[in-house]
A and B are shown apart, each in its own frame.
Chain A
């Protein structure tokens, strides 16, 4: 048994969990981590494009959330509130990290060619299944996008926020968001060309 193998059912109810967090209850903190951290970590990895930096973002976000839990109004769901904290923290880290580059040519040249052998040829029964290698390739292609394009793309296309919501989270206009998403998609089309064409063949075969 691990130190945190505990009964998570105690805080299954979100209001009870919030109460526990306000009391600074250790068990409540553990429940928060158990329930939300995996999902928030994924978001951080996708926004930062780096697992170690994502861990720092996750840590800072959860500490912030626990410290400011009194400020949580309960107007949105706890998960949505945490999502916003992680996004904001990631953006802060990205701004600090390095000057933003949107030089497409440089990005395309930096990109290492994709090994053809890794093209996903699995004939999985469900379209919902994605090969591990393919997922890794998409992860890498997203990570290689310039920060401004990656954050726009991840929020809009991966996290599924509306244009309005994603633009608000990034503090840019909706048209700026649309342009960033277009740019990201164009770069991904190039970077993932073998997979995109595989996907085209898959669609043709399905038709």
Chain B
């Protein structure tokens, strides 16, 4: 696999994709043209497969948790500071 893909031909596809204005009658054709190119161009096919694999791993990766601060702000907003009434000790000052 070449180190730097996206040669002139493929770049022109990027530009076409970028310049095209959304319009239902053209979208179907454009989607088809892009799909055809991706299938026919070995470099794009390889890059697409590699991107799919990367995104799959990204999807499967554990995400950083909702921070305690953000969770507390959400709970305070929903339940009011009275959520402290559920506590066994008072909320710390903020």
* Interfacial residues, chain A to chain B (CB-CB below 8 A): 1-6, 26-27, 29-30, 33, 37-38, 41-42, 55, 58-59, 62-63, 66, 102-105, 127-130, 134-135, 138, 157-158, 160, 172-173, 175-176, 178-179, 182-183, 185-190, 192-193, 195-197, 199-204
A199 touching B53, Cβ below 8 Å: yes
Q: Which partner residue on chain B sits nearest A37 by CB separation? A: B66
Given contacts A33-B78, A135-B61, A186-B13, contact A197 B22 (CB under 8 A): no
| A-B contact list, 30 entries, CB within 8 Å | A1-B87, A3-B75, A4-B75, A6-B86, A26-B82, A29-B75, A30-B75, A30-B79, A37-B74, A38-B66, A41-B66, A59-B74, A130-B57, A130-B60, A135-B61, A158-B55, A175-B28, A175-B31, A179-B17, A179-B30, A182-B31, A183-B17, A185-B48, A187-B14, A196-B54, A197-B50, A199-B50, A200-B1, A200-B46, A200-B49
B40 part of interface (Cβ distance < 8 Å)? no
B51 part of interface (Cβ distance < 8 Å)? yes
**What's the tally of chain B residues with a CB closer than 8 Å to chain A?**
56
Choose among B3, B38, B75 the residue that contacts A197 (Cβ–Cβ < 8 A): B3
In the complex, what's the smallest C-beta–C-beta distance from B15 to chain A, in angstroms?
A: 7
Given contacts A182-B34, A186-B13, A189-B51, contact A33 B58 (CB under 8 A): no
